[in-house]
Chain A
């Protein structure tokens, strides 16, 4: 144990030596942090003292990890913090975790907060929690603020986040790895699944199932777990999209071998065989029925069941979910009641203020981001909430951030924005005369902002101040991302964002983060657009071979007639109100990061009879598509796209090459946005 302690201490030292971003040091106005920083130098000595003490007093308890100033934030206010000591210890061969609050009140707590905090003290104390009761530990390493973990129990209960004021996260996981079986989730690299196997044989058997980490996760998702359910579906549309069909097939084959002794497997095969006989039409029907039958607990189940039906193969990835008899009967009931013959799930109501509140914990964290994204996908967001919720969807705020963290981020980012803005604000007219690139960019932006959404009241009229804000943000962005600069179409993206945010800095950052994903649309070599149009062509080939053949015969396979749809994500095709709805639906990435491509397929399919019947050539097609602006039924298009997405499954994801916008770009050393020899 001594040796372990030494290596753990070395790990802690290494961690302390890791360069941190200056932003973290800006937390020095936080008295807790300042105290922690002061204490950290004497930390390791103090720690070993405690260990000696511990091992001396309780003979059979072996403390293998101990960290001071592991703090919980029971309220959203900075004052409401309880510092404590997190320990891992071995007792009779089993590992336990404990957390005990420090005696007395933190010096940082004001008197008024003291009473309230006291009541949490006992509530959150963990005396002895066996690791075998822990399902997973989720690690958070936010850019701003302290690292923390959330411990989720097998029962689905979760402890509040433990913030590590002294660091030590790596050390914690290193220690855990030594004593319990812990694996990183395939679906979320920040999630560590814990299984404290007593039986070494079981442990080794389980490790053979490594690709089936999702199995563990799925079992959990039925237990009303908090935030983890998202990973299963996210993986299907996220990582499958990246790895393509081949990897999922490998996974399928490898798991098939392990599941042969599964008593529920025979039943599941029977169910599958039954389903494989139904026609495509019936499949579509059952698809929608499954969705109709969703209860909150059976939601993921229903969707995955459809995959079986649609993929028509015995992939038992989710076998643990389909063998339960009650669910089997649900299936057959669905089959019998074939009353709904519709594509896609009907659109729902927008996320309301009350619903939104119910998604947040007392500190303002979104507890179940998957459910939130599902809600938004199916119904959009009440306009009054967009300002708040868009920041999560876009990724400006992390779902697990607190009110306080978000407020802090906002303040920091405002300062940063002003600094970037001052870069061009300080250019005098004399300097501008010698700065052609600046003049040209400014000229281009000036020309575009005055013709962006001017019919929307927010941007209407002469000398509209909001138009000037658009200008300032775009010019600032062209300095923030000088390589990419300004490109036509960007003002289309920004206008609704500014309209929603009504704040220059917040709009800038939301726009900037959107451009992280969509910047490649504006590259000079058009690589982002080519990748998407190619993927679109593959999707049409998969989902409507006849239409694909038609395009092929008529030299339309470059899909340039969809250029505008893809470049600015249908901005010009729908009204301002509709586009806000559509974008929030797309930004959920609920079914696919590339849902917009399925939407293209859905709309093309809606008009396929006319396209083929009228024998449209490329020119006519482009004219026809452009003139669809304002004519497309948005709700129906989304429903169709959802159904297509489902129908395509992993084969659809395999049509989309890795890094295709809006996937995050694959970084190279040469920079992401280098525009060679550009005139502008």
Chain B
């Protein structure tokens, strides 16, 4: 113990060097753990975004792309699906429930998802958890439901008015201010992209984009099985001037008698009667002849997405490993340089009875004091950053980084730092050991 105290006192006497070395170690430890922490949280965040949905169907595109825009609201649908096609699959006997979504608009950067109130009933996240309302209830005509983050950041509550903007940028040049929406409900926080989204009815979205209001309502009853319930018809004629809008203006193949709430949708979520049938159903949808479609099973596509990202994660880990190595080499250089000016100190210690072994231990202790302090400061920095940046990470990426304890994987990385620090410490210790053997009591300076 007295050697550790001596080591600490000696380090303190070279404070500025010691602090710089310590910070280099601390920052590399923080990076090493931070990369692990963020990828861990991202992974569990991804896995938690959707559950209970057996298939997601969109226009023909890559499966990851479909997942990204339908669940994470990142990127854009390549094409729309006609309402007729949606109806065809919604009425399939294998399908227990289905919920359509249409994307493309936003409110100050937050994506607007046009759907049906049934969405709140069927959508599940994490371990089959349903969406809960913190306030209010599902939307009806000219109403919207907003996620917890939207409510917080835009300071909105039930009863507030909302102007939806055309397009997905955070600055929009075209607002649907002739069609204001009122907020009917605020969702509980989920830690998923749902928190960042605004939910409105399909019919409202269509009307914003110039769809007509007139004869729509009578037919709505025809879609009850989808949970659609826009029965109230207190709407006056609502004519948009001719904006250029999405292509769901074109009413292709309107052989169906019922007027759809919206001509085209971006994707739809499907729950099946029998989950094991999902793979057959997926193939069936993918080979549908009337319209090119892509169906994905969210779980497996999440895995695929994660595999894509894990290469990136590995690259980050490698980089932070090298940063650690640089930090340790910096420490080695500092301590080796200090040995030169400390030969007198070693001779003094030898004269009062310290053996070369004690000198060796002293040098190992010094390096380990630096390493351990660096690790402690690094962990402190990590938590400081998480505490400071978690809100920003959540609002920018929808990833909830929690202030949880140190995970096993993180302990493992700390252990690697510890062992690496120990191995590095042997080099100056060995050098000092050799010096003290040859120098003895002479003070070669």
A and B bind: no
